[in-house]
Amino acid sequence: MIVPQLTDAECDTLLAAHPGWSISREGRAIERTFIFANFSEAWGFMNRVALLAEAHDHHPEWFNVYNRLEITLTTHDAAPEAGGALSERDAVMAAAIDALL
For 36-51, the pLDDT digits (tens) are 999 999 999 999 999 9
Q: Is residue 3 part of a domain?
A: no
Classify residue 16: in a domain, yes or no: no
How many domains does the structure of the chain reveal?
A: 1
The predicted structure's pLDDT at residue 81: 78
pLDDT at 24: 96
Residue 44 lies in a domain: yes
In order of 39, 58, 79, the CA distances from 55 in angstroms are 24, 8, 23
Q: How far is Cα 98 from Cα 41, in angstroms, rounded to an integer? A: 15
Does residue 73 belong to any structural domain of this protein?
A: yes
Task: Tell me what the mean pLDDT of segment 22-30 comes to.
Answer: 95
Residue 71 sits in a domain of what CATH number? 3.30.1360.20
Is 32 a member of any domain? yes
For residue 8, tell me if it sits in a domain. Answer: no
Domain that holds residue 73: 23-82+93-97
Arithmetic mean of pLDDT over the chain: 95
Instruction: Please report the pLDDT score of residue 33 as a whole number.
Output: 98
CA 97 to mean position of chain CA atoms: 8
**In-domain check, residue 7:** no
Q: Considering the entire predicted model, what is its pTM?
A: 0.94
